[in-house]
Amino acid sequence: MEITEYSKKSKEYETSLLTAKKKSDGIYYTDVDLSLKIIKFLNIPINASILDPCCGTGNFIISAKCLGYNNLYGSDIDKGAVDFCKKNSGVSNIHIVDSLSNSGDIVLKKIGLREKVDFVIGNPPYVPISKDITINTFDYLFLRNVKDSGSNLFIAAIYRAFELVKVGGGISYIIPKNFLHVSAYSILRRFLLREKRIRSIIDLGAYFKNVRGEQIVLTLANEYSPNNNIEFFSYRQGEFVANTLVPQNFFSDEILLFSNVYDFKIYKKLKSSYKKLGDICTGYVGRGKSKSPNAIAGKNIRKFSFKNVPVPSNGNKIFIQNIYSAEAGIIASFAGNMEASETVTVFTDGDEKMCRYVLGVLHSRLCNYYLMRFCFNGSKLTMHADAKYLKKIPLIINTGTFTKVISIVKLLENISYMCNEWYEAVEDLNNIIYETYNITIEERKYIDTQVRLIQSEKWNYDK
Ligand SMILES: C[S@@+](CC[C@H](N)C(=O)[O-])C[C@H]1O[C@@H](n2cnc3c(N)ncnc32)[C@H](O)[C@@H]1O
């Protein structure tokens, strides 16, 4: 069958599945356009054996066949998908196998393979393990590893892939992007960083429209190489675009998606030169808890003031809108001793001076760039300005600029919201923060451009 016809029929099969089954088994097939691109990108030797252990209707298999590969294998738990793939792809080595519950040895045997394969590819299911979604094995150590590494079927699939692939062989999986930074996945991430070679990471953005979050293509080699560089790519206008190379040993846990060498250079400079906000400000940072009808809600906050109440002069709290969008950046105000509801992130510190200084830093272009790129890992989705992210922001107190920042913040609290003078004051604030953090002119230009590309016109201070 011709590949476009195959793709159409595969979509029809996917649509025919019940929504509940799709969700419980994580059935969202990769379109052949993307699977073709991934296989071309991987540049696998033409005689290599390739296995997709959760192959669904076989979009990766048919793409590989189309590109001239013929040593192809697939398995899936869904009989309908396996039948479809066998019938329409002309590849016979496709079997109904639970490749997550069974160990690699058993899966290989069931597929009729005597040895491990050269390459494992695919898009495993992303489903949290629960009382309804289980992995049926008595292998206590395997289950424990999966549980400790985030308890999700895609985590099980990565562990199983190492049981299926030869030493030195490759694994390339589409997985959720938050694998790179969410702490629940830390154990597997650290295992990969310390014991395997991470060849490349492609940032796909929110590619799968019906799947929550964003996705990456993670490509690994089943070996360790001490001087490995990870290659970072993004997906733009249908192409994989090379961004930068970062030594694997630069990362000890979280993996940040650097867009280019500038990002990497600025990150290193800020991270190595300054302490984090969480190390300096040790007061409460977390959601508001008040149920009072007078409590301030996130939507009542605007940059440096409130929509419905005046900014207090004394106290020790900042209120930050908990919903963070890259288009608007941080929206926060000095809040004195007021109460906040749960749509607000409350920051408390010793006194009003420190609060106003931090408020100035939070609104700066530098801080929003840092948050977007390095705390939210370049996500374009709506995020939460939660304590765990805010605490990572580098904080420097420079006696020369501390009082200047505070007086600009006070000015912004007292003049008309978004008048010309207001925009000018925000721009002054940006410049002082750049100066405080020793950001060079070249770096400023880069950060300004990057933030303007993402922020809405409304916040473009050069009016
Ligand atoms: C996200 S879909 C991707 C399918 C295919 N690799 C693709 O990219 O189009 C995940 C697939 O995993 C299969 N699956 C779920 N649990 C499985 C298991 N325990 N063993 C084998 N396959 C499984 C589902 O049936 C589904 O076909």
SS3 content of the chain, % helix, strand, coil (to 5): 45, 20, 35
463 has a pLDDT exceeding 80? no
Compute the average pLDDT of residues 428-457. 93
Q: Is the CB of 176 under 6 A from ligand 1?
A: no
Dump the DSSP string for 352-398: HHHHHHHHHHHHSHHHHHHIIIIISTT--S-EE--HHHHTTSEE---
Distance (Å, whole) CA 331 – CA 354: 18
Where in the chain are the domains? 3-257, 275-459
Contact 421, 387 (CB under 8 A): no
CA of 26 to the centre of ligand 1 (A): 7
CA of 46 to the centre of ligand 1 (A): 25
pLDDT band at 237 (very low <50, low <70, confident <90, very high): very high
Distance (Å, whole) CA 101 – CA 104: 9
Q: Which pLDDT value is given to residue 252?
A: 96
CA-proximal residue: ligand 1, atom 12 (nearest)? 54
Atom of ligand 1 nearest to the CA of 101: 19
CA of 123 to the centre of ligand 1 (A): 7
Compute the average pLDDT of residues 234-261. 95
pLDDT in tens, 311-349: 999 999 999 999 999 899 999 999 999 999 999 999 999
CA of 120 to the centre of ligand 1 (A): 13
Residue 76 exposed, middle or buried by CB count within 10 Å (0-12, 13-18, 19+)? buried
460 has a pLDDT exceeding 80? no
Question: What is the second-level CATH architecture of the domain 275-459?
Answer: Alpha-Beta Complex (3.90)
Q: Which pLDDT value is given to residue 455?
A: 86
3-257 belongs to CATH 3.40.50.150: yes
Q: Which strand (E) or helix (H) includes residue 431?
A: helix 420-436
Dump the DSSP string for 156-175: HHHHHHHHHEEEEEEEEEEE
Distance (Å, whole) CA 463 – CA 451: 16
Contact 405, 433 (CB under 8 A): yes
pLDDT in tens, 212-226: 899 999 999 999 999
* Ligand 1 pocket test, candidate residues 29, 76, 135, most atoms within 8 A of CB: 76
Strand, coil or helix: what is 453? helix
pLDDT in tens, 145-155: 999 999 999 99
Q: Is the CB of 142 under 6 A from ligand 1?
A: no
pLDDT in tens, 5-64: 999 999 999 998 888 778 877 889 999 999 999 999 999 999 999 999 999 999 999 999
Q: Is the CB of 27 under 6 A from ligand 1?
A: yes
Distance (Å, whole) CA 9 – CA 22: 17
Compute the average pLDDT of residues 227-245. 96
Q: Which pLDDT value is given to residue 75?
A: 98
Distance (Å, whole) CA 441 – CA 107: 57
pLDDT band at 205 (very low <50, low <70, confident <90, very high): very high
Q: What is the mean pLDDT of the chain?
A: 94
Give the tokens for residue 67: 């590109």
Distance (Å, whole) CA 168 – CA 437: 44
Q: Which pLDDT value is given to residue 461?
A: 61
Q: Which pLDDT value is given to residue 134?
A: 86
355 against 210, higher pLDDT: 355
Q: Is the CB of 301 under 6 A from ligand 1?
A: no
Report the share of the chain in percent with pLDDT over 90: 87
Contact 178, 188 (CB under 8 A): no
| Nearest C-alpha neighbor of 361 from the set 301, 308, 434, 439 | 434
